[in-house]
């Protein structure tokens, strides 16, 4: 399981680039694009778990500030909920998923 998590995290870092709101590079992470990208990455057999994800919900209003961390809710078919712990890597809003956990931390 640890190997799988490490593989997922490395792959998701590459897949979650440039998710900033607006054409000019706005000030908030584009939560819709972040949600869609995390979902697609987790469903990918090469980049993620290769399992179906019912939905991903990332919060709106997260300012692009390097080092900021936030959570996205990940719901699997059947209702299982986990939380993707995401960190903003740089001022371009490159994101990295640091973990996928069952516990929600505010």
Give per-residue pLDDT as tens, 72-102: 999 999 999 999 999 998 988 888 888 888 8
The total number of structural domains in the chain stands at 1
| Residue ranges making up the domain that contains 68 | 2-101
pLDDT of residue 104: 76
Q: Is residue 106 part of a domain?
A: no
| Inter-residue long-range contacts of 73-77, CB under 8 Å, 24+ positions, other chains counted | 73/104, 74/38, 74/39, 74/42, 74/100, 76/51, 76/52, 77/52, 77/53
pLDDT in tens, 46-76: 877 788 999 999 999 999 999 999 999 999 9
pLDDT of residue 96: 82
Q: Is residue 17 part of a domain?
A: yes
């Amino acid at each position: 399981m640890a190997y799988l998590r490490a593989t997922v995290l490395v792959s998701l870092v590459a897949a979650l680039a440039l998710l900033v709101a607006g054409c000019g590079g706005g000030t908030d992470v584009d939560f819709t694009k972040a949600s869609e990208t995390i979902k697609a990455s987790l469903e990918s057999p090469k980049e993620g778990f290769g399992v179906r994800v019912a939905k991903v919900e990332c919060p709106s209003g997260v300012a692009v500030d390097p080092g900021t961390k936030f959570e996205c809710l990940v719901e699997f078919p059947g209702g299982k909920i986990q939380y993707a712990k995401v960190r903003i890597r740089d001022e371009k809003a490159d994101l990295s998923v640091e973990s996928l956990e069952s516990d929600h931390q505010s």
